[in-house]
Structure 1
Amino acid sequence: MKKRILTGALLGFAILAYTQNSQEETSIYDEQALSRAEITHIMTDASYRPNYYMSVAHRAKISGHEEFPENSLSVIKNSIMLGVNLLEIDLKISSDGYVYLMHDDYLQRTTNFLDIYPGTGTGQDNYGKCSAYTWEATKNLLLKRSDFTYSEEKIPLFRDVLRYVKSNTQAILNLDINSEDVFNATWNIVKDEDAFDIVIFKTRGATLDAFKNNYYDALSDADKTKLILFPIISGKIPNIPQYYQEWENSKIPKGYEVSFRNNSTAADTILLNVVKSIRTTKRVRVHAFSTLPDNYKGRYKGNVNINQCCNNAFDRRGDWEFLLDPFIEGGTEHGVDGSIITDDPILLDDFFISIDKHN
């Protein structure tokens, strides 16, 4: 994301211009924007512009722009127009194999599913499990805004979003995928669209051997060069240091997303020492997930579906200073130095500028 100082009038004008002319695809910041190649270089090379940290729009949204539903094409266009070129999106798959943008495992929170299919199933199935419905049964559902009012917008197919981003923007899509079937289908779409440089793939506990056998080894040399892969390293992985070292020895990852939440236990220390190892090696960067600092504890209530509620544990991922300095050393040498996924990328970008980490 670029440095920018906007008055309220300019920001209002930009939003008005966008809403009045939905056909206008060029951002008012285009002349200042980083190219996709530059974004990738910064994001994946620890030695290149080391003081340039980046923010990623969580579910492609910017806090305060609630008129755009999460994981929609309109929210992607709006965020890009406002200067955010790293967008995290969530993917699910229909029963007949169509990959589309959706955060929850169920359709009820973010669409009008219950209006269209009242009294369907029992228990959690009543909420419309994504994988239980065909694309034909899903594609005409209307997306809800964050205040649960209906928009006129429908669920976008991943392939359509990928084509739009590739052809019309300099943006990169950070893919949040929670199952192997979705990962496999998404991988095939990206390969078909020659778009390995447009997305960030992330593995969740996959071993190096499994990833190579199932995906990587079949790629052309050109696609291997384009591939942006961030293995996710979390406390759920057994023998974390060995897991990291196997991946690092392969030189396949272009970065790591490390899920550290605190610094108070032995398990926290193991994760943080991996962060320190990544930083000390100075090959790639450390990336992380965050959210607004004042609402992380319990944020899942009303914000994701029934089977994911609730997070009541003390969790410091909402503290940006902690993510940059988890050892509380008064510096930033052993924390995140890449990108942070956040609900407010503009505010985070301003924070980076304030500490001289966006240049």
Structure 2
Amino acid sequence: MLRYFLIASALVISQVAQAQTRPVDPIIRQLHDPKSKQVLVVAHRGDWRNNPENSVRCIEDAIAMGVDVVEIDLKKTKDGVLILMHDETIDRTTSGHGKPADFTWAEIQRLTLKNEHGGPTRQRIPTFEACMNTAKGRVMINIDKGYDYYKDAYDILVKTGTVDHAIIKSGKTYEQVKAENGELLGGKLAYMPIVNMDKTNANDVIQSYEANLKPVAYELNFNADSVLVNSTYQTIPKTGSKIWFNSLWASQNAGHDDELSVEERKPEAGWGWLIAHRATMIQTDHPHELIAYLRKRGLHK
């Protein structure tokens, strides 16, 4: 009898352990592991080439691809509900017209999303809460265009149990972020500064963050190779932060972009160049192709 009890107990413990193992856990560990050489793949607005951008379905399909992070954008309705929306108006991506703040959540729900060609779909605008419930245990979320709702977003993350799933970012200096949201920095919600390397104060911005916060990552944008190479950005990995490059379009990466990597079939000159210059996170509009490229090089599990 004791033997059967012990076997049953072992099975229960095993099932609990399996239930607690989430696909997102190794992604979170890699994000915070300064020694990891693996490259995290960030899907820009989800899998928007096959689904409406910032939709639940585009998040689901990006997860199915095996991406590590899905980038989304936030806006707020008239009655204070955080929704996924990139533009200042809903005109381009939905069946409606106007600003998100012109509508209540009930009114927003009556609208439908458009596909990448502007055609109608039956999909609806999701809330940020629905986004995080979709991502929970499965993928990380990068909150872009959401800094204005920093505290509201944090409350949703706490509610959904996904604080460790998210990265929020802005182009502000450390001093500005500290003054506006200092109580949430340094361990509560992972923060990533966006640094325009073309600006004369770029190195000073990085050094200020390094001295005071040591962010989880830095998003670095540059329009010429020399701008990046002649900067002091190489010090970033020494303090444990990741380096995030965008391969979306040429102005953000001096032409080492998705177009060069995919359409022109020169991935070594595009993504390869970014990796050679210490990229450990790449945001792309071609996540499927980037994952395949990284796996061939042993840089994505």
Residue correspondences, number: 273
1:325 aligns with 2:287: no
- C-alpha displacement of 1:62: 5.9
Distance 1:251 1:226, change over 3 A: same
The one of 20, 24, 34 aligned to 1:46: 34
The one of 172, 177, 185 aligned to 2:145: 177
- C-alpha displacement of 1:322: 4.4
**Alignment RMSD (CA, Å):** 2.9
Contact kept, 8 Å, 2:196 with 2:220, in 1: the verdict is yes
CA distance in 1, matches of 2:235, 2:99: 40
Matches within 5 A, 1:208-219: 208-217=174-183
CA distance in 1, matches of 2:116, 2:272: 29
Distance 1:47 1:218, change over 3 A: closer
- For each residue in 1:205-240, what CA deviation from the matched residue of structure 2 results, as whole angstroms up to 9, or x when unmatched? 2x3233234324357xxxx53532211111475511
Contact kept, 8 Å, 1:62 with 1:344, in 2: the verdict is no
Contact kept, 8 Å, 1:94 with 1:133, in 2: the verdict is yes
Name the SS for the 1:60 alignment partner: coil
Matches within 5 A, 1:94-105: 94-105=77-88
Distance 1:235 1:252, change over 3 A: closer
Q: Among the aligned pairs, what percent are the same residue?
A: 26
Equivalent residue for 1:230? 192
Equivalent residue for 1:93? 76
- C-alpha displacement of 1:129: 2.1
Structure 2 unpaired stretches of 5+: 1-17, 262-268
Contact kept, 8 Å, 1:44 with 1:255, in 2: the verdict is no
The one of 162, 171, 187 aligned to 1:195: 162
- C-alpha displacement of 1:341: 1.1
Matches within 5 A, 1:142-291: 142-166=112-136, 169-177=137-145, 180-205=147-172, 207-217=173-183, 224-225=186-187, 227-235=189-197, 239-264=201-226, 268-269=227-228, 273-279=231-237, 281=238, 283-291=240-248
The one of 42, 46, 55 aligned to 2:41: 55
Contact kept, 8 Å, 1:61 with 1:70, in 2: the verdict is yes
Matches within 5 A, 1:293-312: 296=249
Q: Which has the higher helix share?
A: 2
CA distance in 2, matches of 1:231, 1:46: 17
- For each residue in 1:96-130, what CA deviation from the matched residue of structure 2 results, as whole angstroms up to 9, or x when unmatched? 321101121111111111xxxxxxxxxxxxx4122
1:346 aligns with 2:299: no
Name the SS for the 1:286 alignment partner: strand
Q: Which moved more, 1:90-99 or 1:154-163?
A: 90-99
- C-alpha displacement of 1:82: 2.9
CA distance in 1, matches of 2:284, 2:78: 31
- C-alpha displacement of 1:350: 1.3
Structure 1 counterpart of 2:282, which letter? I
- C-alpha displacement of 1:252: 4.0
Name the SS for the 2:45 alignment partner: helix
CA distance in 2, matches of 1:236, 1:262: 8
Structure number with higher relative contact order (C-alpha < 8 Å, ≥ 6 residues apart): 1
The one of 109, 114, 127 aligned to 1:139: 109
Distance 1:82 1:349, change over 3 A: closer
Structure 1 counterpart of 2:278, which letter? G
Name the SS for the 1:142 alignment partner: coil
Structure 1 counterpart of 2:231, which letter? N
Query: TM-score under structure 2 normalisation?
Result: 0.79
Distance 1:343 1:34, change over 3 A: farther
Contact kept, 8 Å, 2:142 with 2:168, in 1: the verdict is yes
Structure 1 counterpart of 2:100, which letter? C
Structure 1 unpaired stretches of 5+: 1-29, 114-126, 298-310
Distance 1:70 1:218, change over 3 A: closer
Query: TM-score under structure 1 normalisation?
Result: 0.67
Contact kept, 8 Å, 2:203 with 2:233, in 1: the verdict is no
Equivalent residue for 2:5? none
Matches within 5 A, 1:116-131: 127-131=97-101
